Structure 1
Amino acid sequence: MNYNKTEKISLYHGLASTVSTTAVNGYIPLFALSVLGASNQQMGLITSLPSIIGMIALIPGAYWLNRAKSKKNFTVLTTFATRFMFMLILFIPFLKLSFAPWILVFLIAALNFPGALSGLSWQTLIGDLIPENRRGAFFSTRNQWMTAAAMAVTFMTGFYLQQYNKTDAYPYQILLAAGFLFALVEVYYLYRHNDVKKENVTKVAEPAKRKFSMEVFRHKPFLAFIVCAVLFNIGAQMAWSLFSIYHIREAQATALWFSFFSVTNQLAQIISVKWWAKAADKHGNTMVLFVAAAGMATAPILTMLSTNLYYLTALNLWIGLFVSGTNLLLFNQLLKATPEVNRSTYLANYQFILSIIGFIAPQFGVYLLSQFGMFSAMAITSIIRLLAGCSFLLVAIKFERKQQAAEIV
């Protein structure tokens, strides 16, 4: 694939972003449980509270973004703020262990305020810069390179952390500092993106809604996507804390095993992402998204079959095949379901809804764990994911029938 300047810069930005966030992000559960001694409740809050903060951020976020003279500069500032706050985690081990886990909960939640704005503005910026006919091929390639970088960084950091006692905070602090250096590179390449032309910004900003409104749900493709995406995210996010608790407390996974889980998962994503892009072009994005979502439904129940670490590593290879599909196809489907005019408003409403789900779902997962045990909680999660996959299929069939009826007429 031949890349233009914007696509090359976006690729470099994605690689730097991946290294910055992957260096420690995947080991936060291990850091919280093994170093700081976090409880199940605190683990659930680490997963869910950022969504509430993100929801609060998105209330003024669409307004600020629509008013911003430069989408690029807005994205740069919010991204830098997010990465800087994440780096502050390295100071938490110096605090008393009695309240250090709560500081971690607070900091991870707080950094999601600029993080939500960064995600919203980047989606809007890149949606304007990359034309629709190149998104599938470009984003699949970009995701492939980012996954490869994540795989390499994850393996190296896991091997590095394995050299230390699992309760030692020092290696995590080194990784946090290194991650911030790569964050500076990420911000640099983000700044090198072209900005949206002023006349295009004006065109979008004039009719844009500057508050959350039910009007966006009158656009039927967006409404259909929202219904399916909400159901899918409930099932997906319910299991976030459950997987971490299961791997660390029941399977006794160390940092090195965590890296094996991630590396095999990412390897499968690299292998499969191009296939998902081609399949979506051939069979339709929504139809293929059903297959990816249904595959994701197998993850929780298959995890419960064994605590053998070799088995769990192999299972992550299977899961990764569908993770790459859902990541790529959900984003493409979101852009496809939103009109170019006022896209930031549609994206803000989408993120607002996901923020509510992101708070409720992990807490519900932890509640199911406390009431029914790990197996039942995981089984319920699998069922909800499968229902979400079926909802994408129903939407695909419905729109296909409408298109056929329109052609006949």
Structure 2
Amino acid sequence: MRRSIYRFLDLLAPGLAWTHDERYLMLDGFIGNIAGTFVNPFMTAFALGFGATKFHISLLAAVPGLFGNLMQLPASHLVERTGRRKSLIIFTGVLTRLGWMLVLISPFIFQGIAGVYFIIAVLSAVSIVGAVTTPAWTSLVSDLIPRDVRGRFFASRNIVMSIGALLTVNLAGQIVERGGFPFGYVASMSIFLILSWISLWAFSKVSDVPFSPFRPSHPGQRGRWLDMEALRSPVFFAWVAISTFFNFAVGIVGALFGAYLIQDLGGSPVHLAYMTFGGTLTGIIGQRFWGPVSDRRGPKFAVYVSAFLTAFVPLLWFVARTPWQAVIAETYSGLAWSGWTLCTFNLMLEITPGDRRPSYVATANFIGGLTAFVAPLVGGYLAQFYTLRPLMLVSAAGRFATGVLVWVFVRDSTEDVTQAGLPHGEVTR
């Protein structure tokens, strides 16, 4: 069976001799992304089936993220103090999948807006438990993947994941469309759960690299909500501030595009599926380009160019008048976002010290996540009075400004790290 898996993944991502761990990380991502296509594109439509408004959609986007981000720092301290990264990822993975089973049965328990609030509550609990996964996964993977192949590996992994989405997203859209509410969504979500358990099995095959628990050298390093030592790094502080600003610019409209498609442009779940298909397809093209570029020119270059490119996404939505024009906008979006999605992760690995990486990552996610909570609520509230279209222009301006700020203030390993205020030798693991 292992040889069959190896041959299959080598067929999807040829060109390099991938290790055992790299192959199973790819398999985990491949199956997990297929699973996601059966639920992620349709959560807005699912909530609309309960009678949700744009403001309820904003709550659905914002509240679970808030609770997850409140747990980022405690979760990172747990990872650093125990050193049991793989065990924590698997344990929390089991709990989050059990939570999604409650979402699956929610239409048979609740009707109307009560169902929306129940889903928000369950997904908030899922987000709290899942908060452990991000710092643990980031830290573990940074030890498994050497720096000089990270760009190519994560580009290849993302391409493999995208291929999985391309194979299934239209099927998922047809299931939801033909079954309607609630049965189409329940059927699609059931497939998601089955595949997500298989994805967790694939991750369980990854090696558990030894990780020495962090021991605080002074009381100031013990369990604060924010790692003040991390924020004293000029480069890290600059990145946190800029990415937080970017999160707000994206968040005021991003969560509402699906509702805008259905309520204002007359779209359907099938259009949501085609949007995902188009964005995934162009994302594959972008990943092929940005992986080698990140390894050669550093992740900062890809990040600031991608920020400029994403500024055109809300502008395309602004001029859209039909569902298919929105599909074109999201098809372009996949290309624009490919560099940002790939290279912000690599940039984070470069500007954080290895022994404190979980806390650094959690600090960045916590601060950025607070903005990601506020932004959809602000967008949802304003959209009730001014419609979404003026907010699209505000979002475009903020994304463009982010590209300028990254270009001016952020440094990576291709630049002089000692001038950036980072301890020399600690930029990468």
1: CA distance, partners of 2:400 / 2:188:
37
Alignment of 1:126-145 (within 5 A): 126-145=141-160
Partner of 1:341, secondary structure, is helix
2: CA distance, partners of 1:397 / 1:343:
17
Please name the residue that 2:166 is paired with: 151
Q: Structure 1's 185 and 205: CA in aligned 2 closer, same or farther, altered over 3 A?
A: farther
Contact 2:155 2:288 in 1 (8 A): yes
Please name the residue that 1:176 is paired with: 189
Alignment of 1:4-403 (within 5 A): 4-33=19-48, 35-98=49-112, 99-165=114-180, 168-197=181-210, 200-202=211-213, 204-205=214-215, 209-211=222-224, 212-395=226-409
Cα-to-partner distance string for 1:316-341 (whole Å, 9 max, x where unaligned)? 22111111111001111111111112
Contact 1:46 1:109 in 2 (8 A): no
Contact 1:87 1:179 in 2 (8 A): no
Return the letter of the residue paired with 1:220.
P
| Matched length | 400
Cα-to-partner distance string for 1:295-325 (whole Å, 9 max, x where unaligned)? 1111112102122122222222211111111
2: CA distance, partners of 1:259 / 1:359:
26
Q: CA deviation at 1:393?
A: 1.3
Q: CA RMSD in A?
A: 2.2
2: CA distance, partners of 1:190 / 1:283:
31
Q: CA deviation at 1:152?
A: 1.9
2: CA distance, partners of 1:320 / 1:362:
21
Q: CA deviation at 1:241?
A: 2.5
Q: CA deviation at 1:195?
A: 0.8
Cα-to-partner distance string for 1:333-389 (whole Å, 9 max, x where unaligned)? 111111112111101111111221121111111123123222211111111111111
2: CA distance, partners of 1:132 / 1:284:
11
2: CA distance, partners of 1:163 / 1:289:
40
2: CA distance, partners of 1:174 / 1:205:
48
Q: Structure 1's 89 and 398: CA in aligned 2 closer, same or farther, altered over 3 A?
A: closer
1: CA distance, partners of 2:400 / 2:106:
39
1: CA distance, partners of 2:310 / 2:293:
17
Return the letter of the residue paired with 1:137.
R
1: CA distance, partners of 2:29 / 2:133:
14
Q: CA deviation at 1:73?
A: 0.5
Q: CA deviation at 1:260?
A: 0.7
2: CA distance, partners of 1:21 / 1:31:
14
Return the letter of the residue paired with 1:18.
N
Contact 1:225 1:333 in 2 (8 A): no
Q: CA deviation at 1:275?
A: 0.6
Return the letter of the residue paired with 2:395.
T
Q: CA deviation at 1:181?
A: 1.3
Partner of 2:330, secondary structure, is helix
Contact 1:276 1:325 in 2 (8 A): yes
2: CA distance, partners of 1:322 / 1:282:
20
TM-score (norm 2): 0.88
Contact 2:298 2:412 in 1 (8 A): no
Q: CA deviation at 1:122?
A: 1.1
1: CA distance, partners of 2:212 / 2:413:
31
2: CA distance, partners of 1:23 / 1:251:
23
Partner of 1:27, secondary structure, is helix
Q: Structure 1's 96 and 6: CA in aligned 2 closer, same or farther, altered over 3 A?
A: closer
Any unmatched runs of 5+ in structure 2? 1-15, 421-429
Q: CA deviation at 1:108?
A: 1.8
Any unmatched runs of 5+ in structure 1? none
Structure with the largest fraction of helix: 1
TM-score (norm 1): 0.92
Q: Greater shift after overlay, 293-302 or 304-313?
A: 304-313
Q: Greater shift after overlay, 265-274 or 171-180?
A: 171-180
Return the letter of the residue paired with 1:189.
A
Partner of 2:355, secondary structure, is coil
Contact 2:29 2:161 in 1 (8 A): yes
Return the letter of the residue paired with 1:380.
V
2: CA distance, partners of 1:403 / 1:337:
9
2: CA distance, partners of 1:297 / 1:378:
10
